[in-house]
Amino acid sequence: SQTQENISVRWDMGLNKKRLAYFCLPKANEEMRLMPGDELRLRYVGDQMKSNWAGVGHVVKVPNNYGEEVGIELKISQGAPIEYSSNFVVEFVWKSTSFDRMQAALKTFAVDESSVSAYLYHRLLGHEVEDLVMKVTLPKRFSAPGLPELNHSQVYAVKTVLQRPLSLIQGPPGTGKTVTSATIVYHLVKQNQGQVLVCAPSNIAVDQLTEKIHKTGLKVVRLCAKSRE
């Protein structure tokens, strides 16, 4: 369930004068899978107020080695029943923004021929297409400044990626995929004299890529959710 009852709350005030609420969720790690930035609704259901109170806040603390409490920062501090510490209900606020964007992207991919090249369209769908090798000026030196020297396999990977519109690099942990990726970004920027959008499936992966790319001397802008600031 995305709702948990009989919650006790500890109130506090943040340095930004926003009201903070701390509480323990017995099933936080099992069912809710909370992350910083998620939204929760806190409701008071006791009979000591004339009308029930409810407030929405974003998660600023999740259970860790230093404590099992979940902490949220309320969007509106005024009216919070800070004189009460029991008889609260916590509800997870579903936000479909990410899924709406993914669905819109898939729909565009399916119906808009100009959204992606014909080669990428058929390649991504697994259709039989002739391999496309682009005519580019390869660098004389493949290793990027500020990064470790590439081995033979890494040089081959960089060389291949620079000549193809779509590539997949695989390797077990510790084989230098991040360094190789940062090197590819470096050469793409030097080839095109333009900006390169770098994406990764987790914030940690993006942080590591940002650090490596920055070491090459390129100017890097790291975009992240406001909740991680």
Residue 80's pLDDT band, with cuts at 50, 70 and 90, is very high
Mean pLDDT of 66-77: 91
Percentage, residues of the chain above pLDDT 70: 95
The full set of domain ranges for the chain reads 3-92, 96-130, 134-228
pLDDT of residue 93: 87
Query: CA 69 to CA 26: how far, in whole Å?
Result: 10
Provide the Cα torsion 47, 23, 13, 95; round to 10°: -90
pTM: predicted TM-score of the whole model, two decimal places: 0.67
Q: The domain at 134-228 falls in which architecture?
A: 3-Layer(aba) Sandwich (3.40)
Query: CA 195 to CA 221: how far, in whole Å?
Result: 10
CATH number of the domain located at residue range(s) 3-92 in this protein: 2.40.30.230
